[in-house]
Amino acid sequence: MKKEFSVVIAGGGSTFTPGIVMMLLENQERFPIRKLKFYDNFAQRQETIAEACKILLKERAPHIEFSYTTDPEEAFTDIDFCMAHIRAGLYAMREQDEKIPLRHAV
């Protein structure tokens, strides 16, 4: 029997998180998951993303235990892997992340 992993996505409120979940689901044969958690310090944003992903998981992988939280102790307990998906500063920092390299022809 293959080991099934427990994974937390830190930055679970990102609009990119559903794409990460889809990638994980598409690779269940290579990386079986028993538990998936989202962690974010922006509760309202995370709830929107998590509730959408909850539907996706229920339809495609009902065996995966799913939860989301803003409590770091809860998020990082009983996990095998952490996928860090964090950008401090939200959209204002994203703008800087994209514009600074362009000023340097990168």
- pLDDT tens figures, 56-105: 999 999 999 999 999 999 999 999 999 997 777 767 777 888 899 899 99
32, 2 Cβ separation under 8 angstroms: yes
Q: What is the mean pLDDT of residues 45-59?
A: 97
Closest CA to 55 of 20, 18, 6, 11: 18
The CA–CA distances, whole Å, from 102 to 21, 26, 95, 105 equal 30, 34, 11, 5
Q: What band does 14 get if pLDDT is binned at 50, 70 and 90?
A: very high
pLDDT computed for residue 97 by the predictor: 81
Hey, how many other C-beta atoms are within 10 angstroms of the C-beta on 62? 9
Q: What is the C-alpha separation between 21 and 71, in angstroms, rounded?
A: 21
- Is 94 labelled a binding residue? yes
Q: Which helix (H) or strand (E) holds 12?
A: none
Bridge-based pairing of strands 65-69 and 81-84 is unpaired
The CATH H-level superfamily of 5-103 is NAD(P)-binding Rossmann-like Domain (3.40.50.720)
Domain residue limits, the chain: 5-103
